[in-house]
Chain A
């Protein structure tokens, strides 16, 4: 998204790019001077660690010390262990459920924001949704704990009207509450911008042709924002799949998700290579999911182009 030059940049003979053109006496050191620190920073503090993570999946632990090697032992041990496979299955199920729930809940909400709210309120709704994306996730999970716990707010209210305490915390329900807290704001935002980007004349044309609103939504709107739906879904999956806080506080790590496995393995001290195998496996799964999301949004584009 950020990588493409602004429209019209390439076809203007007066634009100024290195490689295709240069201004008289323009110092070629300039892009290097600006770009190199960024490049180095991201290599050392982002790419380096991830590459190193892949490297240590092949290392060995000898007498509690990590030592360089090139063995497939760790991969073999982890990938064949039932604990890992169970955690993997659990994590995929949980993240998949969150993805479906988040997308299903976010779609009508985003539709309402984009088409039903007056502009001022629409901007406010977006500003409101941006806040939780960048703040206080861990606190909000803690708040849900307070609300859902056996002595918590909901059961407190229930007790006042004479209902027995409900086991709200510690199961799939509370876990999804936590993960939706994480995913819903961003999913609604992505879909809102998707809806807002739809050409209004398209909708008006369909309505002029006598289409009912529900049919316009199904046949015009949803196909038009398919890339946004794919992005919202992959983002939700990505967040839910890698999350550590909700499984920890909403289910007490039982059963563990892959993130819990990673942290537990690391904190136990000696099994860095195995933790790395789990981490790298998670990354590979996420790459596959992102690729799938790309494919889903691209296929629409191809089909539309063919018409």
Chain B
């Protein structure tokens, strides 16, 4: 990567009785769309607030455009944020809200109005300029909030779970809108969310955080297929984790003995015999066959879940290990699945992914 636009260097934030961000390092290129994900309380929102200067770090530094942000107050950073609560000013009209940052920059009234209207136009809100915020729908408010953040032409936009208050239909539309804006403006977007679908649809790279630390950074599909540890594998969902002991190692291959049997797992590095190992098989890479199929793992169907044309099958082996299998509807129709039915699972060894951090 060329010189990063935003660099977090050992960024650390302690609150009394709570270590929110534990010395993280992260580099974001100019124009990149980065999504920070993690369970609630993982430090993702605090990280965003630290970048915006709304919280003061207890250690480390933030550089934006090469400049250290240490001691620079929030209002001098030009790091506008779109808030989960939107934080629109209820006592100002739509246009006044959008013009607010310009007013703070002492831009003249006529010019403020002109630029606010321009942005409202751009966000499809023409004719709403003089309405009260209370008169707008949820989606319209969201657009006002975005327009207000972009009216000063910043080089970075921070978004803190901006779509979580919208219903599913609107969320998808706003996602498209954000993506379009990002491409048009070419500025850096840092997007905090707990919704995988948003991050996958929008981000160039995703950052997975847990307990104040970064677990993994990478392209969405890489993080999905090649999680570094059990936390990421579980957080990304739809991964089945198997744990066992290394019984044999050859070039690019480990034999791992698990309570369910011995499995072949591809490995980039070699591991000592008798060490612990964990590997994952993605839910969509497990094949199903009628019970008793040779080389298969017998299990009982315990539940089914439909999402559109995709079906998730929950099964349990005799020893009590649970698997999730994801298939297209048409792929499994022939199997005639129902809870209680016996089934056989299998996967190609090359689809097993050894967790680099196998704790």
Contacts and interface: CB of A to CB of B under 8 A. Distances in A.
Asked if chains A and B are in direct contact (CB within 8 A), the reply is yes
Contacts of A26: 56, 73
Nearest to B48: A14
Interface string B190-226: 0000000000000000000000000000000000000
Contacts of B54: 14, 16, 23-24
B74 A14 contact: no
A25 B69 CA distance: 10
Nearest to B54: A23
Interface in B9-55: 15-16, 18, 20, 41, 45-46, 49, 53-55
Contacts of B49: 14
B71 A25 contact: yes
A20 B16 CA distance: 7
Interface of A: 13-14, 16, 20-26
Main secondary structure on chain B at its contact with chain A?
loop
The list of the 9 closest CB pairs from A to B, nearest first, reads A25-B73, A24-B53, A24-B56, A22-B56, A23-B54, A24-B73, A20-B16, A25-B71, A23-B74
A23 B50 CA distance: 9
Contacts of A16: 54-55
B72 A24 contact: yes
Nearest to B40: A13
A21 B45 contact: no
B13 to A, nearest CB: 9
Contacts of B56: 21-26
A13 B41 contact: yes
B98 to A, nearest CB: 23
A23 B71 contact: no
B148 to A, nearest CB: 19
A269 B54 CA distance: 60
Nearest to A25: B73
Tell me which of A14, A22, A24 has the highest count of chain B C-beta atoms within 10 A of its own C-beta. A24
B270 to A, nearest CB: 43
Given A13-B20, A16-B54, A25 B72 contact: yes
Contact of B74 (A13, A20, A24): A24
Interface in B70-95: 71-74, 76
14 contacts: A13-B18, A14-B45, A20-B15, A20-B16, A21-B55, A21-B56, A22-B55, A22-B56, A23-B55, A23-B73, A24-B53, A24-B57, A26-B56, A26-B73
B16 A23 contact: no
Nearest to B17: A20
Tell me which of B18, B41, B54, B69 has the highest count of chain A C-beta atoms within 10 A of its own C-beta. B54
B46 A13 contact: yes
A20 B13 CA distance: 12
B69 A24 contact: yes
A20 B69 CA distance: 21
Given A16-B55, A23-B74, A24-B54, 18 more contacts: A13-B18, A13-B20, A13-B46, A14-B45, A14-B46, A14-B54, A16-B54, A20-B15, A21-B55, A23-B73, A24-B56, A24-B69, A24-B72, A24-B74, A25-B56, A25-B73, A25-B76, A26-B56
